Structure 1
Amino acid sequence: MLMHQGIGLDRFNEMSRRRAVHALYECCSNVTWAAKLTEARPYADRDALMTKANVELLALSQQDIDRALEAVVHQQLSERSLSELARITRERIAEMLGPIEGYPEY
């Protein structure tokens, strides 16, 4: 379970650098990756964030990928691969942001 859930893209774009890095670290367990995504803010939409996330995953060393996969060991993995890490990372980013239409106001 992520600590940052349903925060929305606008709120993510406006977070302090430290909080944004922390929120993204929960998604991939790599500080360098999280910092690069944070520095690229603001994102116009979710697709832009997901695209940047994938680009930066491809830039990780094999050692960083292995460490990130170790951090998600409790999740169902069909294989220990970059594609599985990318899938899990996308799912976690989506969970961090919450529904596209946002949550209803109560």
Structure 2
Amino acid sequence: MTDAAADATVHLVARLVPQAGKADELAHTIMALVPQVRSEPGCIAYLAHESLDEPGVIVMIEAWANQAALDTHAAAPGFAALAARFEDLLATPPSLERLRRIVESFPQ
């Protein structure tokens, strides 16, 4: 990956806190979506994790080729269907944190 491509890459951590009694439903819904999202143009990584500190909380670690790819993902039918269920599944709105990779910028 070139420096320009690395600079354009969008890294994202999304935290999804389920409503009481909805953890399994949220996890199954996310897992059903993962293969579809991974095939989207510009998807570099789309990884679902469950928090060990807060069981039931889903933490998504994502990497997208650029902001346009992430924007396309957000409008894709699969994610739109999930987002439409957030009010029913989540106790709070999703927490999204965009990241910039710094490892390459530090001198050795």
Higher helix share: 1
Higher strand share: 2
- TM-score, normalised via structure 2 length: 0.36
Structure number with bigger Rg: 2
- TM-score, normalised via structure 1 length: 0.36
